[in-house]
Amino acid sequence: MTRSMNGGACNETMNEAARSFQASTLTLLQNFSSTNPGVRYSLGDFYSITISAIKNPSTYGFKNVEDACCGVGPNNGRKPCRKPSSNLCLKRDEYLYFDYVHPSQKAAKIAAQFLVTGGNNFARPIPFGKLVDIQF
């Protein structure tokens, strides 16, 4: 999910580009695997994981899905997290974003668990973890 640097509002142009890229990549992989029967793949959808966390923060244990934990300016999203000028939150696990570009460690761990185990169908057509179980 891409937020603008102007007060934290979502940048719908960038978000649409992310959704379009995801759909196009999935179609490309589906077409490629249909003509190459031995190909196995899984595509993770980090965008949808992020949207789910934004819409249901308490489900994931987040208290703040709008501000970055570390940075400068509105929503800590104007400049990167660099000492000594940056604001740094005290409870990083309460934040979806660590800085204006990166998810927090907790958010990355949640995303990895979904992608590996298949939680909420964020990995298609199979979870990453199933790729290692396939016998050739």
Write down the pLDDT at residue 23.
Answer: 96
Q: How many other C-beta atoms lie within 10 A of the C-beta of residue 76?
A: 25
**CA–CA separation, 53 and 31 (whole Å):** 31
Write down the pLDDT at residue 5.
Answer: 45
**Interior CA angle at 15 toward 1 and 60, to 5°?**
30
Task: Supply 125's token pair.
Answer: 């057509």
| pLDDT digit string, tens, across residues 61-105 | 999 999 999 999 999 988 889 878 899 999 999 999 999 889 999
Burial degree of 39 (CB within 10 A; 0-12, 13-18, 19+) = exposed
Burial degree of 95 (CB within 10 A; 0-12, 13-18, 19+) = buried
Q: Which residue has the higher pLDDT, 119 or 49?
A: 49
| pLDDT digit string, tens, across residues 6-45 | 455 778 999 999 999 999 999 999 999 999 999 999 999 9
| pLDDT digit string, tens, across residues 110-125 | 999 999 998 888 999 9
Write down the pLDDT at residue 88.
Answer: 93
Task: Supply 122's token pair.
Answer: 């964020």
